[in-house]
Amino acid sequence: MRILKLGMVGGGEGAFIGAVHRIAARLDGCWQLDAGCLSSTPDKAKRSADALGLARSYKSYEDMAAQESVLEGGIDAVSIVTPNHMHLPVARAFLKAGIHVICDKPLTTDLAQAEDFANECAGYDAQFFLTHNYSASPLIRQAKSMVADGTLGDLRLVHAEYLQDWLSRAPDADNVQAAWRTDPARTGGAGAIGDIGTHAYHLATFVAGQNASHLAADLSSFVDGRQVDDNANILLRFASGARGSIFASQVATGCENGLKLRIHGTKGGLSWAQERPNEMIFTPIGGVEQRLTRAGAGATDSANDVSRIPAGHPEGYLEAFGTLYREIALHLLGVEVAHDVPTLKDGVAGMRFIDACQRSSRDNAEWCAL
């Protein structure tokens, strides 16, 4: 398979998610990182590029898009790992230049802007992908296939929660990661719901195979002076009749990265936790609880397709990210993959979720259509 050439915007010194994307991109040997505009500060961008040994470093993403699009051997795709408010302008520049985009979530900071962008993208040849990495975990793929083949019966309850505690207190002034995540100008006012709530919602709807039709949300800001939500309690209604909930918090003391999913139908239920990604509990109605393991006895083809190592060896966050990068590469090379990777429609769905949460909470948790 031809190795694709990758660029990156953002993700320089002090960034967390940029390093994750770089590891994921090279995990399966599908991508080679060649170019970047790793910071909006030129000196920092240059230092970051030199540290990574990049062939080409740019002072602006506009220059990078323009020059890479005409360069022989230029990049095939760009990875966008900037704060949220920069996702769309960067994506637009590269899509216009004919370069594919792999973008961190959420899509942007405003629903209307996201919908306009989706219409605009219909006129581009280049493609847009969104990195909801948890959807590529092997047992999540198995859960989705079990729902789709009727193992759980008709769905009744869909619950996801994502609990952290790292923003339980006002962060130090030099905490760059906290600074932009709690800045309404760079997040569109979406704190926990944008940062981790969109992951929980995408995971729930990905496995359930359906988006929610209505929600009721109570958003809170517990830390004094904070201008974005740091806690969200959300009820969901699905057109199928199923009911659900999302609990997303960055002030849940004692929780590190507690993403969990529980789905219950007329024939059985499933439970999975990201901090124990190699096991999932399945309980058929009236039956004995079963512990399903990644690549173990009872693993489905959809799970085995994205498992790299034998059962019993831990495989998790980085590998799931790597699976998305591999599947995006295969898709761009015209090779069929078993699951659709997250795209622009998933980004717009995430923005509809954020917008409905904010509207509902402003109206004292009134039910809102998505």
What is the CATH number that goes with domain 137-306+343-362? 3.30.360.10
Q: Please tell me whether residue 132 adopts helix, strand or coil conformation.
A: coil
CA 258 to chain CA centroid, nearest Å = 15
* pLDDT above 80: residue 1: no
Q: How confident is the model at residue 49 (pLDDT cuts 50, 70, 90)?
A: very high
Cα–Cα dist 84/248, whole Å: 18
- Residue 123, pLDDT score: 93
Q: Phi first, then psi: give them for residue 141, nearest 5 degrees.
A: -60, -40
* pLDDT above 90: residue 306: yes
- Residue 14, pLDDT score: 86
Every domain of the chain and the residues it spans: 4-104, 137-306+343-362
Write the pLDDT tens digit of every residue in 316-369.
999 999 999 999 999 999 998 877 799 999 999 999 999 999 999 999 999 999
**Do 4-104 and 137-306+343-362 show the same overall fold?**
no
Cβ–Cβ under 8 Å, residues 252 and 163: yes
- Residue 56, amino acid: R
Write the pLDDT tens digit of every residue in 188-199.
999 999 999 999
What mean pLDDT, rounded, does the chain reach?
A: 96
Question: What percentage of the chain has pLDDT greater than the value 90?
Answer: 96
Write the pLDDT tens digit of every residue in 147-184.
999 999 999 999 999 999 999 999 987 898 999 999 99
- Residue 338, pLDDT score: 77
Cα–Cα dist 102/71, whole Å: 20
Q: Give 4-104's CATH code, choosing from 3.40.50.720, 3.90.1200.10, 3.40.50.2300, 1.10.101.10.
A: 3.40.50.720
Helices (H), the chain: 17-27, 42-52, 61-70, 87-96, 111-121, 138-148, 176-181, 184-187, 192, 198-208, 301-304, 317-332, 344-362
Left, alpha or beta for 293 (phi > 0: left; psi -120 to 50: alpha)? beta
